[in-house]
């Protein structure tokens, strides 16, 4: 499982996704640095895709890699309607095979595609167990994928979450900030906090949802695309979402920024950093891709991506211990 959240309003769209993958059967943490977000441009729209459910298939490929395989076939040069159909045609047989092997509970899967269509934001859901136009979800995966869309009206704020759902207080804070005309950075921070609160509030940092998040902001035009990585304890480098046919801006801190991608380009498993950030990965000529280092925490044994300054699980536990200590110090005797 994962946690994804999208907030869309007439002037912007923010999507956030955690990066943890757990074993389909064991439930144990396998990695804290999986890229579950793809930003794209196509013939008549631009948007962002996130997912929850299957972390990797039996061949070790992630759903992000399924999408990049379609991109290599130039599927994302087509219209958005054609892209939806091609994703369903590609993914449905994969999920049916997983359902037959692992059962209908473990094979639940959803893609959320948030797009700007003719300068209007829309959120689509491709899933075998939930819909964008209905509340709730099925306990078991169906055999077929359905495509649904949120029902929106002009000037409406849309907030759509899949996987592990955020707390109500977080959703209210996001909606309230947008209504108050808050800066985009403030709305983004609240969306990221909503996902982190799932990781720390329910799983105590060790559950199926991780506390490091990739995020993307998309404006109505393709020139208004920013993305990045938000890590508890800070990051030495920015591991970015995948890009298909679009340019995105990446803040590196202070006045430093970078631009990645462009029309006709596919960018996957990328990162950008200053100084020590260049040590995050190395290029493997045999695999024709960068290989990212991921260490193991000597205290809790959780994976630590090389881009992280500290262990996200231990960061939670240290913060929790300090909070308890402060409460003890301020407690007054009866």
**Which CA distances in Å does 211 have to 49, 105, 206, 302?**
19, 24, 9, 12
Domains, in order of start, for the chain = 3-279 (3.60.20.10)
Q: Are 198 and 227 in contact (CB under 8 A)?
A: no
CA distance 70 to 267: 13
Round the average pLDDT of the chain to a whole number and report it: 88
Give yes or no for residue 325 having a pLDDT over 70: no
| Lowest mean pLDDT across 48-52, 71-75, 163-167 | 163-167
Cα maximum dimension of the chain:
71
Instruction: Provide long-range contacts, Cβ within 8 A and 24+ apart, for 244-249.
Output: 244/38, 244/39, 244/40, 244/41, 244/67, 244/68, 244/71, 244/76, 245/40, 245/41, 245/42, 245/71, 245/76, 245/77, 246/39, 246/40, 246/41, 246/46, 246/222, 247/222, 247/223, 248/39, 248/216, 249/225
Residue with the bigger pLDDT between 285 and 93: it is: 93
- Give the model confidence (pLDDT) of 167-224 as tens digits: 999 999 999 999 999 999 999 999 999 999 999 885 555 678 988 999 999 999 999 9
Tokens of 114: 């948030």
% of the chain beyond a pLDDT of 70: 90
- Give the model confidence (pLDDT) of 220-257 as tens digits: 999 999 999 999 888 888 899 999 999 999 987 777 78
Q: Are 178 and 6 in contact (CB under 8 A)?
A: no
Give yes or no for residue 72 having a pLDDT over 90: yes
Give yes or no for residue 92 having a pLDDT over 80: yes
Please name which of 185, 191, 227 lies closest in space to residue 40, comparing C-alpha atoms: 227
């Amino acid at each position: 499982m994962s946690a994804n959240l999208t907030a869309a309003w007439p002037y912007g769209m923010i999507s956030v996704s955690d990066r943890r993958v757990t074993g389909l059967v064991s439930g144990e943490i396998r990695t804290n640095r999986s890229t579950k977000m793809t930003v794209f441009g196509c013939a008549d729209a631009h948007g962002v895709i996130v997912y929850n459910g299957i972390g990797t298939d039996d061949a070790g490929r992630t759903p992000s890699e399924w999408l990049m395989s379609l991109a290599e076939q130039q599927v994302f040069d087509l219209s958005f309607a054609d892209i939806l159909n091609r994703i369903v045609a590609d993914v449905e047989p994969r999920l049916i095979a997983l359902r037959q092997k692992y059962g209908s509970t473990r094979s639940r899967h959803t893609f959320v595609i948030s797009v700007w269509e003719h300068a209007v934001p829309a959120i689509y859901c491709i899933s075998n167990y939930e819909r964008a136009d209905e509340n709730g979800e099925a306990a078991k995966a169906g055999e077929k994928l359905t495509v649904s869309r949120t029902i929106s009206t002009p000037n409406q704020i849309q907030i759509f979450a899949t996987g592990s759902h955020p707390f109500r207080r977080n959703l209210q804070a996001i909606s309230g900030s947008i209504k108050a005309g808050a800066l985009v950075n403030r709305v983004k921070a609240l969306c990221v906090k909503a996902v982190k609160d799932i990781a720390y509030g329910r799983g105590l940092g060790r559950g199926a949802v991780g506390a490091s998040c990739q995020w993307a902001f998309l404006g109505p035009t393709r020139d208004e695309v920013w993305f990045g990585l938000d890590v508890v304890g800070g990051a030495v480098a920015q591991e970015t979402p995948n890009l298909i046919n679009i340019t995105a801006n990446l803040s590196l801190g202070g006045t430093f920024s970078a631009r990645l991608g462009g029309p006709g380009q596919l960018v996957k498993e990328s990162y950008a950093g200053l100084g020590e950030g260049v040590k995050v990965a190395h290029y493997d000529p045999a695999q024709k891709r960068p290989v990212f280092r991921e260490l193991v925490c000597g205290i809790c044994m959780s994976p630590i991506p090389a881009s992280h300054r500290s262990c996200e699980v231990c960061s939670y536990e240290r913060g929790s211990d300090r909070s308890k200590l402060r409460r003890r110090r301020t407690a007054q005797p009866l």
